């Protein structure tokens, strides 16, 4: 990057640049990774495919929670409402003859539709009222669902319609749908953040009242994020059902999901794009490697959370970004000084 030798007076011509070499390289690599991941069912065993599906659902949940909390400043303790709704709506639809995988997609949309009116209730608040409000909504939904005997009531239910597929096919189709959904929502978030919405969000994060005073439609912006998170978590719920096959109200609507989301995002890096993905991978690894150790694994999980909170509060990616100034995803703006010949620096 060449700097113009500007004099003490007179303007320096510059151009706003959104892509850097690093971010361009990384994005290309990322696209390659997704292509590679699509081939997983071909290359790996059924068990591994199922594990990868689990990992991807964690990534989806973490990215959604980060969208609300990291970018929207809304700490939700109630996204499990949509996880549960997504799962149960899938069962409901499948019981009425809808093909299971189509049912999952429709269930996702249903969750988005539910999140819209709910947003009018809870988006009046911030902070603790918002957090507890969303938690209570999730609990209430879970109890309500547990009354419905056609959905298995308190003992739970499963997506028996998936028995129509062989185990291998079911695992593969579930994986591909999960991959598609995860890529879709991560991509959707990326597009939103690059758009004017992204700048509005930054403004809101810095000073909500000041943002409103320059015309940022604060609540509308938050509502968009809220509905996206509802959609994404609805998808995660439907996919979790397809992955673990059996669900019950207390577990699929459990606040533990929120706790895991908090862990994944804060360990990975709140408010960063890459952070939740890293955090989901870490969480998945801890779950996988150590869950056989019973309660001690949980103690280790808790201790890890505390350690990160004390020593790496910005999360792994947050620390990396802060120290190196590296941005892998082209989400920011860079000002490039004009070249000596007078042109503005062109973006690639």
Residues that bind other proteins (CB under 8 A): 69, 73-75, 121-122, 124-129, 131-133, 135-137, 139-140, 143-144, 147, 205-209, 255, 259, 262-263, 266-267, 270, 295-296, 298-299, 301-310, 313-314
Q: Which is nearer to other proteins, 133 or 330 (CB)?
A: 133
Start-to-end Cα distance in the chain: 13
Phi, psi of 322 (to 5 degrees): -65, -40
Rounded least distance, CB 76 to other proteins, Å: 11
Nearest approach, Cβ of residue 268 and other proteins (Å): 11
Nearer to other proteins, 77 or 239 (CB): 77
- Cβ contacts of 105 within 8 Å, gap of 6 or more: 238
Q: How many CA atoms lie within 13 A of 341 on its CB side?
A: 3
Q: Which is nearer to other proteins, 29 or 127 (CB)?
A: 127
Query: How far is 251 from 84, CA to CA, in rounded Å?
Result: 9
Q: Which is nearer to other proteins, 70 or 330 (CB)?
A: 70
Task: Find the shortest distance in angstroms from Cβ 204 to other proteins.
Answer: 8
Among all chains, which residue has been given the structure tokens 């673990």? 244
Joined tokens for residue 78? 């109630």
List residues bridging with 335 in a β-sheet. Answer: 16
Residue closer to other proteins, measured from CB, 177 or 316: 316
Per-residue burial over 252-288, b if 16 or more Cβ lie within 10 Å, else e, is: bbbeebbebbbbbbbbbbbbbbbbbbbbbbbbbebee
Cβ neighbours of 144 (radius 10 Å): 11
At residue 99, what are phi and psi to the nearest 5 degrees? -60, 135
Neighbours of 196 (CB within 10 A): 10
User: Nearest distance from residue 254's CB to other proteins, in Å?
Assistant: 10
Closer to other proteins by Cβ: residue 19 or 144: 144
Closest contact distance (angstroms) between CB of 170 and other proteins is 33
User: How near is the Cβ of 318 to other proteins at its closest, in Å?
Assistant: 10
């Amino acid at each position: 990057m060449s700097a113009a030798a500007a004099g003490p007076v007179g303007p320096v011509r510059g151009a706003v640049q959104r892509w850097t070499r690093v971010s361009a390289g990384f994005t290309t690599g990322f696209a390659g990774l997704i292509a590679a991941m699509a081939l997983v069912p071909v290359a790996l065993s059924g068990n591994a495919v199922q594990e990868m599906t689990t990992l991807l659902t964690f990534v989806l949940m973490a990215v959604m929670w980060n969208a609300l909390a990291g970018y929207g400043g809304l700490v939700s303790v109630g996204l499990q409402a949509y996880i549960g709704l997504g799962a149960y709506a899938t069962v409901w639809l499948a019981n009425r003859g809808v093909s299971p995988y189509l049912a999952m997609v429709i269930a996702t949309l249903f969750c988005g539709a539910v999140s819209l009116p709910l947003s009018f209730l809870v988006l009046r608040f911030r902070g603790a009222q918002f957090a507890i409000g969303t938690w209570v909504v999730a609990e209430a939904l879970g109890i309500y669902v547990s009354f419905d005997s056609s959905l298995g009531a308190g003992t739970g239910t499963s997506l028996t319609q998936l028995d129509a597929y062989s185990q291998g096919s079911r695992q593969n189709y579930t994986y591909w749908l999960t991959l598609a959904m995860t890529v879709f929502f991560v991509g959707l978030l990326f597009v939103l953040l690059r758009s004017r919405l992204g700048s509005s969000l930054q403004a809101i994060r810095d000073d909500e009242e000041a943002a409103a005073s320059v015309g940022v439609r604060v609540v509308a912006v938050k509502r968009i994020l809220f509905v996206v998170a509802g959609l994404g978590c609805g998808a995660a719920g439907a996919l979790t059902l397809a992955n673990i096959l059996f669900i019950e109200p207390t577990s699929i609507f459990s606040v533990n999901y929120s706790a895991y989301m908090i862990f994944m995002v804060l360990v990975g890096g709140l408010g960063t794009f890459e952070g939740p993905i890293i955090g989901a991978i870490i969480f998945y690894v801890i779950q996988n490697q150590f869950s056989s150790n019973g309660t001690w694994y949980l103690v280790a999980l808790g201790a890890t959370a505390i350690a990160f909170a004390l020593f790496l509060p910005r999360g792994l990616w947050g620390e990396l970004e802060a120290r190196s100034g590296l941005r892998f995803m082209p989400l920011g703006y860079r000002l490039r000084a004009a070249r000596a010949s007078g042109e503005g620096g062109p973006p690639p």
